[in-house]
Structure 1
Amino acid sequence: MTQPNDLLPEGLEDRLPAEAARITAAMRACLDVLDAHGYDRVRPPLLEFEASLAGRMAGVTVGETSTMFRFVDPASLRTLALRSDMTPQVGRIAATSLSAAPRPLRLAYCGDTVVIKASQLDPARERLQLGAELIGSDSVAAASEAVMLAIEAMKAAGLTGISVDMTLPDLVDTLAEKAFPLAPDRREAVRRELDTKDAGGLRSAGGSAYLPLLYATGPFDSALAALRAVDAGGALKSRLDGLEQIAAAIGDAARITLDPTERHGFEYQTWFGFTLYAEGLRRAVGRGGTYRIAGSDEPATGFTLYLDRLAEGAPQPEAARTCYLPLGHDRAAAARLRSEGWRTVAQLAEGEDAKALGCGWVLDGSEPRKL
């Protein structure tokens, strides 16, 4: 019977067996891909001192309202925080414990994150993050590796119809220096209006020169051509050449689009960012790009997959054959079945219904017999 105290907080939910199995299968498939490409897994703690986490998260300072749950540690009397993103923790590990490790350093991670408040479009406050970071490089080669690795991981998890939407996170700052001069105090307003695709607001913010960027979006080839036409002065040439090389590396492995003014989810990326989508899923499956590790300023490239979302589009894993083990069964035979990939359910009392317990076979002597 459900009790009033059994209700879960807003944005949190139980994952029942079928869904949990799908998430676990997707996680294993993705981690196997990362491991096969030389990415070593690290497991940072769920809790850290707030000062450490905030110091390595772009746009967050100690003491300000943020996405992180915070409370006082009774042992140290210092403020602790629950991680809302694992990427800064991987950056801390690279900058401290693994600072002397050879570069480029390839690290993988997977774990739960929690935020205080989620958006209306995505109300979940707990997310299972999985990702990879290539530390010591933010080159075109590193970016190509990150994108291809993410695509391969998604395919290994069973997703189809994969799409990569590229962006240029530092677009406004780059153009504002010379090509389309813009005072520093007006850049944020221009970024905001570009992000909302508001032509009227962009004019009001003093960004009329940036209007053509609103139309340099869509399928990669046509959007890139439009962006090159806008970049008459060549301020973006190296970035656009880089995008073209990354797209060539992707080839037909995924559909490629370009939205150079997209900023959502790219608060700390530098010259390159990308969002991942898959057929049948309304929301983004993951994001990635190039960035600098806060604190050490070391260049890095990486991506994060949101496993909970990803698993919604992944196929249900095929259930292993389940064999019922009656009282007094042959334990050696049962162990042999498990080593061959069977699941076993042992009888605990008289009167149990093997089929109701999900068993399709029963151990008869030393061999399984179909029920």
Structure 2
Amino acid sequence: MEDTDRDLLPEGLEDRLPHGAAVAARVTRSAVDVMESHGYDRVQPPSIEFEKSLASRMEGVRPRRMFRFVDPVSLRTLALRSDMTPQVGRIAATSLAVAARPLRLCYAGQVVTIKGDGLDPAREHLQLGAELIGSDSVAAAAEIVAMAIEALKAAGAQGVSVDFTLPDLVDTLAEKALPLAPGAIEAVRRELDAKDAGGLVEAGGDAYLPLLYAIGPFETAIERLAAIDAGGALASRIKGLREIAGRVSGLARVTLDPSERHGFEYQSWFGFTIYAEGVPGALGRGGTYRILTKDAGQDEAAIGFSLYPDPLIDALAAAEPRRDTLFLPLGHDPEVAARLRAIGWRTVAALSDADDAKALGCTHRLDQGEAAAL
């Protein structure tokens, strides 16, 4: 029987063709250059690790999202990474455990999940990011948010906006200010995340209803959050949010949704989501978290962000004209060609008389030592 599907790719995976691949390389380089300019050293972890290492470094990491298989050498379960953040946490807790803190690291690479999220069927994504390890202070958070905005703008994003959240908000309030039965905490979190007032009341979270209205442009929403009588339980967080917003004022539009939980499975007191005009969905997330160290029961504060720029790359590639390319006929002067490449020309050299400049995507032809438009 004829094999008719040997060239098909699995669902959710696709090739990035030349123009898109060039844009992807430029986006990656631009974003990483910003991170390195702020003192973040790049690391490059392997794409496959022991499942236990990937799943146990941080709370909230979901092994079920990972492709897993048995290593024929060690006979232990391996996993293909679905998120590079835990890998950076492992590096910080092991190979760089004695490095001075705060430790600044950045990364870029592909990640893969078993299935896509929601309406997005893609299972492979480019992930770019940075982690500041050893501090989750307001100053550290402000640095990370500002750098995420700068990196995204350098990559080509326009109209950047940032949405702040407090991932541990329900736990903080339930502890004393707005107590909840232990069994109700998860339900209240879920209904707040769904913005369902009726469901929130049914879950026993009547006192949490004002949080549904502390949403929107930052200056308005933070005042509504501050008006909630929580016995001072939120005072330090509100103060921190104001300071972070002040740091990025003018760099991006800032909004607040204090009870947002989706995508913040392992963040602690602060989280943020970043968007750009003309690009569907979120382009990245970040926030504070804890890294489990080599010492049992110990952990280390950290904050970072991850950008997933594939939608931005697609938008830029669709809007960007093809780069000018110079056709070099047979017998051309190689020194002239080298000079033109040195000033920015992209060249394609003829290999035979049959080569057609236009068919090869060229926009110009080398004629008597000069570039002539086709």
**1:25-174 equivalent positions in 2, closer than 5 A:** 25-60=26-61, 66-174=64-172
Q: Distance in 1 between matches of 2:331 and 2:256?
A: 64
Q: Distance in 2 between matches of 1:281 and 1:320?
A: 23
User: Quick check: 1:40–1:106 contact (8 Å CA) kept in 2?
Assistant: yes
Q: Deviations over 1:202-237 (max 9, x none)?
A: 122111111111111111111111111113411010
Q: Distance in 2 between matches of 1:310 and 1:88?
A: 25
Q: Distance in 1 between matches of 2:263 and 2:207?
A: 25
Once the 2 structures are TM-superposed, how far is the Cα of residue 58 of structure 1 from its aligned partner? 2.5
Once the 2 structures are TM-superposed, how far is the Cα of residue 24 of structure 1 from its aligned partner? 1.9
Once the 2 structures are TM-superposed, how far is the Cα of residue 334 of structure 1 from its aligned partner? 2.4
Which of 301, 304, 309 is the equivalent residue of 2:303? 301
Once the 2 structures are TM-superposed, how far is the Cα of residue 113 of structure 1 from its aligned partner? 0.2
User: Quick check: 2:191–2:200 contact (8 Å CA) kept in 1?
Assistant: yes
Q: Deviations over 1:256-279 (max 9, x none)?
A: 111011000001101100000111
Which of 351, 355, 370 is the equivalent residue of 2:354? 351
Q: Deviations over 1:70-120 (max 9, x none)?
A: 111222222111000000000111111111111111111000000001123
User: Quick check: 2:173–2:230 contact (8 Å CA) kept in 1?
Assistant: no
Unaligned 5+ runs, structure 2: none
Q: Name the aligned partner's letter for residue 58 of structure 1.
A: E
**1:251-290 equivalent positions in 2, closer than 5 A:** 251-290=249-288
Once the 2 structures are TM-superposed, how far is the Cα of residue 174 of structure 1 from its aligned partner? 0.5
User: Quick check: 1:26–1:314 contact (8 Å CA) kept in 2?
Assistant: no
Unaligned 5+ runs, structure 1: none
Q: Distance in 2 between matches of 1:34 and 1:231?
A: 40
Q: Distance in 2 between matches of 1:294 and 1:150?
A: 24
Q: Distance in 2 between matches of 1:282 and 1:100?
A: 41
Query: What's the counterpart of residue 201 of structure 1?
Result: 199
Once the 2 structures are TM-superposed, how far is the Cα of residue 3 of structure 1 from its aligned partner? 4.4
In structure 2, the residue corresponding to 1:74 is in which secondary structure?
Answer: coil
**192-201 or 137-146, which moves further after superposition?**
192-201
In structure 1, the residue corresponding to 2:326 is in which secondary structure?
Answer: strand
Q: Distance in 2 between matches of 1:101 and 1:194?
A: 40
Q: Distance in 1 between matches of 2:344 and 2:229?
A: 59
Q: Distance in 2 between matches of 1:38 and 1:280?
A: 31
Which of 322, 327, 347 is the equivalent residue of 2:325? 322
User: Quick check: 1:166–1:273 contact (8 Å CA) kept in 2?
Assistant: yes
Q: Name the aligned partner's letter for residue 259 of structure 1.
A: D
Q: Distance in 1 between matches of 2:61 and 2:243?
A: 34
**302-311 or 50-59, which moves further after superposition?**
50-59
User: Quick check: 1:320–1:342 contact (8 Å CA) kept in 2?
Assistant: no
Q: Name the aligned partner's letter for residue 6 of structure 1.
A: D
How many residue pairs get matched?
367
**299-308 or 355-364, which moves further after superposition?**
355-364
Q: Distance in 1 between matches of 2:292 and 2:320?
A: 39
Once the 2 structures are TM-superposed, how far is the Cα of residue 310 of structure 1 from its aligned partner? 2.6
Q: Name the aligned partner's letter for residue 309 of structure 2.
A: L
TM-score normalised by length of structure 1: 0.94
Once the 2 structures are TM-superposed, how far is the Cα of residue 356 of structure 1 from its aligned partner? 1.4
What percent identity do the matched residue pairs reach?
Answer: 66
Q: Distance in 2 between matches of 1:277 and 1:260?
A: 17
In structure 2, the residue corresponding to 1:138 is in which secondary structure?
Answer: coil
Once the 2 structures are TM-superposed, how far is the Cα of residue 7 of structure 1 from its aligned partner? 1.8
User: Quick check: 2:108–2:129 contact (8 Å CA) kept in 1?
Assistant: yes
TM-score normalised by length of structure 2: 0.93
In structure 1, the residue corresponding to 2:127 is in which secondary structure?
Answer: strand
In structure 1, the residue corresponding to 2:339 is in which secondary structure?
Answer: helix
Q: Distance in 1 between matches of 2:204 and 2:372?
A: 77
Q: Name the aligned partner's letter for residue 56 of structure 2.
A: G
Once the 2 structures are TM-superposed, how far is the Cα of residue 363 of structure 1 from its aligned partner? 3.2
**1:211-226 equivalent positions in 2, closer than 5 A:** 211-226=209-224
**239-248 or 22-31, which moves further after superposition?**
22-31
Q: Distance in 2 between matches of 1:50 and 1:110?
A: 21
User: Quick check: 1:22–1:317 contact (8 Å CA) kept in 2?
Assistant: no
